[in-house]
Structure 1
Amino acid sequence: MKRDSKLSGVLHVLLHMAEQPRPITSEVLATAMCTNPVVIRRIMAGLRDEGYVRAEKGHGGGWTLACDLEKVTLRDVYDALGSPVLLAMGNRSESPGCLVEQAVNAALDQTFRDAEALLLARLGEVTLASLSADFHKRLAARGGKHDLETAHAS
């Protein structure tokens, strides 16, 4: 089963945007993320609706951050994405009348709820600012400078 990496990708895009002094087009972001500009625009529209980004039209336009990195948590971004499924595992449901399946599913249901609650709580503790600080620490250690056009070159 393929993992859903939308949250990771959106956080990646937001941090790149935080490093840019000017608006960034969907095309540039799509190239950096190895996806289609339409995908970027769709995701950004949801973030715009929540007030995290804004779009500037016309020549020199593009996407810019519209939020304070200190105030936005990973949970906020997760919620803005529509709260995608967190856990890929689920219960078997081929034999709903089977008492063994019912017992297994009851135990797993609670375990999955507990794991999801813990993950959501942790996402609520981490801000975009803390991710940005970690990025800057890594950048300083490498002695480099951030350039979106070449950031993904090895």
Structure 2
Amino acid sequence: MRRDSRLSMILHVLLHMAERGEPVTSEELASSMNTNAVVIRRTLAGLREAGFVSSEKGHGGGWRIARDREAVSLRDVYDALGAPSLFALCNRNENPQCLVEQAVNSALDTAFEEAEALIIQRLGDVSLADIARDFHQRLQQRVKQKDLSACVL
């Protein structure tokens, strides 16, 4: 079953952009994410419409963060992506008249709704700045260990 990693990918991209502090091209971002620049442009276009990023064309142009990292929560980004489904699990609907299937689906619906509400609430509690602070703590640890072989901006 295919899993949706857009939220993870775009948060990664946003932190790269924020750390650079200057416009970053779709090609540069795509290279760091091992994906195609078109994927980056399409995803960032939705975030531009929501006001989280801006883009400039031409020489020296590219994408940049348009808001303060403290003011952007993971939920904001999740919503800007169209609030993709959080779960790959779903109900069986082969026989909607079956009382057992109805009971099972009712129990699962409740569990899914409660779990999704908790996840979305937690996404609202974490900002891009929180992730940036975590990154910098991890980077300091790597510097102390003299191991800069991993993904570093």
Q: Report the TM-score, using the length of structure 1 for normalisation.
A: 0.92
1:10 is the counterpart of 2:10: yes
- Superposition deviation, residue 56 in structure 1: 1.0
Q: For this pair of structures, how many residues does the alignment match?
A: 149
- Superposition deviation, residue 95 in structure 1: 1.0
Unaligned runs of 5+ in 2: none
For residues 33-89 of structure 1, the C-alpha deviation after alignment (integer angstroms, 9 at most, x for no partner) is: 111111100011111111111101110110011111001100000000000001111
Cross-structure match for 2:151: 152
SS of equivalent residue, structure 2 residue 92: coil
Q: 1:151 to 1:46 in 2, by over 3 A?
A: farther
2:47 maps to amino acid: L
Unaligned runs of 5+ in 1: none
| Structure 1 residue ranges (4+ consecutive) displaced by more than 6 angstroms after TM superposition | none
Cross-structure match for 1:28: 28
- Percent identical pairs in the alignment equals 62
Structure 2 Cα separation of the partners of residues 107 and 151 of structure 1: 43
Cross-structure match for 2:125: 125
1:30-49 aligned within 5 A: 30-49=30-49
1:55 maps to amino acid: S
- Superposition deviation, residue 151 in structure 1: 5.9
SS of equivalent residue, structure 1 residue 143: helix
Structure 1 Cα separation of the partners of residues 58 and 102 of structure 2: 58
1:1-154 aligned within 5 A: 1-143=1-143, 152=151
SS of equivalent residue, structure 1 residue 89: coil
Q: Report the TM-score, using the length of structure 2 for normalisation.
A: 0.93
